């Protein structure tokens, strides 16, 4: 896998094997924060940043653990890194943009339990990407996550005005919509390999 080009890795993570719609990672924020386009956009950016930071640190940690022959500690270390990266982003956002900090609210610390980020770190280790490839992979994953979130938010904003049966309001309808989006993203499957 080490010979893949950076653009292929980026496209693969962003659309072909979209983290949300094809690999089912990060479903909780996908359903939770996709009610409005503004919040969805900010959430996407914050997640992308955490992905980038944690992907780079995960690469370093993985190298260190492999050198020390301590691979069984990998999972625990990754989770610790992600938690600290989220903390870092939280302090950063709070200092430089208090307005954004308020609008994201509880969802910022919740990025820690977003499995898309842990999944990213685990996949890049499993695929043995080198440093630059890891960065391309994390950027692609971030763009893909934001894309899925924005698409969903756009659909849900329109859907507020639609008349649907009362039983299907809420989660059931959101999941059906996600299914349709996922079906649409299957069209990209021919672009790359279906590994992941």
Partner 1 sequence: MATLPNQEEKLTLDTFLRGLWEENPVFVMLLGMCPVLAVTNSTINAIAMGVATTFVLVCSSVLVSLLRKAIPKQVRIASYIIIIATFVTIVDYSIQAISLDLYNALGAFIQLIVANCVILGRAEAYASKQRLTTTIINSLGMGAGFTIALLSLGTVREILGNGTILGYALFPDNFQPWVVMILPPGGFFVLGAWLLLFAWLRQRREQKILDQTGATAHGR
Of the pair 25, 139, the CB lying nearest partner 1 is at: 25
CB of 55 vs partner 1, minimal distance in Å? 15
* Alpha-carbon gap, residue 52 to 44, rounded angstroms: 12
Query: Site residues (CB under 8 A) for partner 1?
Result: 21-28, 31, 72, 75-76, 79-80, 83, 112-115, 118-119, 122-123, 126, 166-176, 178-180, 182-183, 186
CA angle, 82 then 151 then 6, to 5°? 55
Cβ 78 to partner 1, closest distance in Å?
8
Q: In 10 A of CB 126, how many CB atoms?
A: 10
State which residue, 28 or 100, has the beta carbon closest to partner 1.
28
Measured between alpha carbons, how far is 19 from 117 in angstroms, rounded to an integer?
10
> At which residue do the structure tokens 């649409």 appear?
184
| Least separation in angstroms between CB 87 and partner 1 | 10
DSSP 49: H
- Between 73 and 132, whose beta carbon lies closer to partner 1? 73
Question: Least distance in Å: CB of 184 to partner 1?
Answer: 9
CB of 118 vs partner 1, minimal distance in Å: 5
Residue closer to partner 1, measured from CB, 7 or 87 = 87
CB of 148 closer than 8 Å to CB of 81: no
Residue with Cβ nearer partner 1 (45 or 79):
79
Shortest spacing between CB 99 and partner 1, in angstroms: 26
The answer to whether 39 and 108 have CB atoms below 8 angstroms apart is no
Cβ distance to partner 1 smaller for residue 97 or 169:
169
Rounded distance between C-alpha atoms, residue 107 and residue 168, angstroms: 26
Distance CA 17, CA 141 (A): 9
- Reference 84, options 43, 120, 105, 56; nearest CA is 56
């Amino acid at each position: 896998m080490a010979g893949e080009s950076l653009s292929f890795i980026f496209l693969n993570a962003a659309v072909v094997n979209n983290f949300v719609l094809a690999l089912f990672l990060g479903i909780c924020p996908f359903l939770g924060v996709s009610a409005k386009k503004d919040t969805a956009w900010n959430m996407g950016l914050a997640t992308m940043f955490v992905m980038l930071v944690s992907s780079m640190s995960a690469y370093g940690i993985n190298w260190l653990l492999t050198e020390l022959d301590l691979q069984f500690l990998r999972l625990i270390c990754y989770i610790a890194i992600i938690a600290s990266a989220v903390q870092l982003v939280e302090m950063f956002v709070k200092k430089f943009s208090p307005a954004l900090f308020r609008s994201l609210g509880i969802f910022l610390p919740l990025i820690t339990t977003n499995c898309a980020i842990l999944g990213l770190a685990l996949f890049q280790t499993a695929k043995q990407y080198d440093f630059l490839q890891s960065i391309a992979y994390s950027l692609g994953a971030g763009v893909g996550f934001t894309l899925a979130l924005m698409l969903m938010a756009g659909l849900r904003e329109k859907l507020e005005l639609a008349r649907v049966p009362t039983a299907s309001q809420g989660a059931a309808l959101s999941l059906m919509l996600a299914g349709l989006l996922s079906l649409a993203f299957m069209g990209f499957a021919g672009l790359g390999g279906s590994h992941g």
